[in-house]
Amino acid sequence: MTVGRGVFRSNWEGWRSAAFDNRIYIFVLLAIPVGMYFGLPKRGDIDWPDAPRHALNGAFVLDLIEQFPWRHPIEFAYDYYRQWPALTILFYPPLFYAVLAAVYAVFGVSEASALLTELAFLFLLAWGAFRLSRHWLDPPPALAVALLLLGAPELAFWGRQIMLDVPAYAFLVWAAELLVRHLKSGQKWALYAAVICAMAAAYTKYNAIFFVGPIAISLLYAYGWRIFRQRTVLQAAALGGLLLLPLVGIFFAFGSYNLGQAAALPGAEASRWSIAQLTYYARIMPSVISWPTLGLACLYVLALPFAPALRLPRADAIFLCSWLLVGYAFYSMIAVKEPRHILFITYPLALAAVLVIDRTLAKVSFRYGISLAFAAAILAMTLTTETVPSVAGMLGAAEAVAQLAPPDTNVAFWGSRDGTFVYAMRAYSGRRDLGVVRLDKILLSDVAVYVEHGFKENIISPDEMTDTLRNLHVQYVVFQTRYYDDLASVKALEEALGSDKFSEVERIPMTANYGKGYMADLVIYRMKEEVPRGRVAPEMQIKLLGRSL
């Protein structure tokens, strides 16, 4: 009995000590996103065009839940788009927006709430990377891997924007951790959870589906041809298939247009098999994860044949290699390439960079300090040299025009950041009776995703422009100066606004925290004639749905 109590006491104390140590590491990983959050501009001055649309999608889900079941979801979505024409729900997978709606329900609809959700996923990503790295490293170097990921320039940039990349990556890293746990322990629940996390990643961003490949390769290596008789694996595959079916339906109904438009962008038609296309991500990888991290990762690979101590167990090595190679091949085959698309394969590189330090210096007593110092230096360099862009002015214009606009009318907008203006009207104006008319829908046609990617110009006279605004019950117009002002249609709009039928009310400068600061003015015009009450939306072609509203 005494021996038993002593063993129990020893195990309990060991467990408690380990738990305390893990809490310290988790606290460190939590403190970094919290610090990032408080250092971010978050009053609605959103620069990146996709970010306010993602933020608005969460508001849509919240508003839909509040209306349910009194409104039909599809008709509600159409009406919502007519009022707030920056909605992209189902253009992307819905999971992030459901989480965002829950946060909005607690903290209110705002950029601050949306960034809180984003930074929470950034913490989950770092914590998952730490847990995954613990399969091969002690806690200090495992923490270094997580810090290297947080300090990867591309990840740190997008992790501080309202975007889908980091939330999807967080799910992928946890899927990897659970898969390795299953391979090492045989725990059934871990494989089921890995499949669920992988599907959650795909429900957050479509292209995360590539991770099914590394999972399948790892399981095939672990079980061989016995895999087709392994009930656990077959059940996990069935679970994944069932979870994937709704997403496939959503993609082919909505998301495939996104892919088609992307493939049609200028330059995207270049051969996927050209050297330039195949090496694109290899060439930009230093800017994605930093030169020092990539250099150490390459050193690890080059030293593997000559340093057995660096090698991981074969099953683990196959999983990590397939993660890297399958992901690289997958993204290289996508016509449109951006540095952020390759974020999902950066973990094996960060792990390799720390492994080469930790195992090469295995007999050095302060090797933990070296790996931590290296990772902390990369993180500090990234955070101190990178600026998260923001552009002030849109929120001020939205708040100003919301105070002036009569009930149940529209506000027309022409400018470069229409999504930011629309989101500011929904989130900050307090005027749910107002609607927004995007004038690019009237002045331009055949816009390829964004105005910057191509369009056709509509022919319209100043008088026709005035009549159109009156018919749409637009009392106030927000006009950004110096934005495509060489176009005939924009000149017609400017001429109409400068006529005796409109009066200038207020001029708000747009300023950015990058470049030279000043960008343009947001000029608020009022139509002198009183317009009828009741929002009227222009006819809009929604190629995404193959219909017009």
| pLDDT tens-place string over residues 94-106 | 999 999 999 999 9
CB atoms within 10 A of CB 1: 5
pLDDT tens, position by position, 403-435: 999 999 999 999 999 999 999 999 999 999 999
**pLDDT class of 276 with cuts at 50, 70, 90:** confident
pLDDT of residue 251: 81
pLDDT of residue 456: 82
**Statement: residue 237 has pLDDT above 60:** yes
pLDDT of residue 549: 57
- Classify 43 as helix, strand or coil: coil
Give the architecture-level CATH label for domain 391-548.
Answer: 3-Layer(aba) Sandwich (3.40)
Across 367-389, average pLDDT: 94
pLDDT tens, position by position, 154-211: 999 999 999 999 999 999 999 999 999 999 999 999 999 999 999 999 999 999 999 9
pLDDT of residue 543: 54
Strands 435-438 and 456-457, bridge-based pairing: unpaired
Residue ranges covered by each domain of the chain = 117-385, 391-548
Taking the C-alpha atoms of residue 523 and residue 308, their distance in angstroms, rounded to an integer, is 67
Across 57-84, average pLDDT: 87
Supply the DSSP symbol for 539.
P
Q: Using the CB atoms, write b or e for 160-189: b if 16+ within 10 Å.
A: bbbbbbbbbbbbbbbbbbbbbbbbeeeeee
Kindly state the tokens that stand for 357. Answer: 């330090």
CB atoms within 10 A of CB 513: 14
Lowest mean pLDDT of 36-40, 197-201, 262-266, name the range: 262-266
φ/ψ of 393, rounded to 5, equals: 135, -40
Q: Among residues of the chain, what percentage have pLDDT more than 70? A: 89
pLDDT of residue 90: 75
Across 517-546, average pLDDT: 82
Supply the DSSP symbol for 154.
H
Lowest mean pLDDT of 61-65, 233-237, 362-366, 482-486, name the range: 362-366
**pLDDT class of 509 with cuts at 50, 70, 90:** very high
pLDDT tens, position by position, 127-142: 999 999 999 999 999 9
CB atoms within 10 A of CB 500: 6
**Statement: residue 266 has pLDDT above 80:** no
pLDDT of residue 537: 79
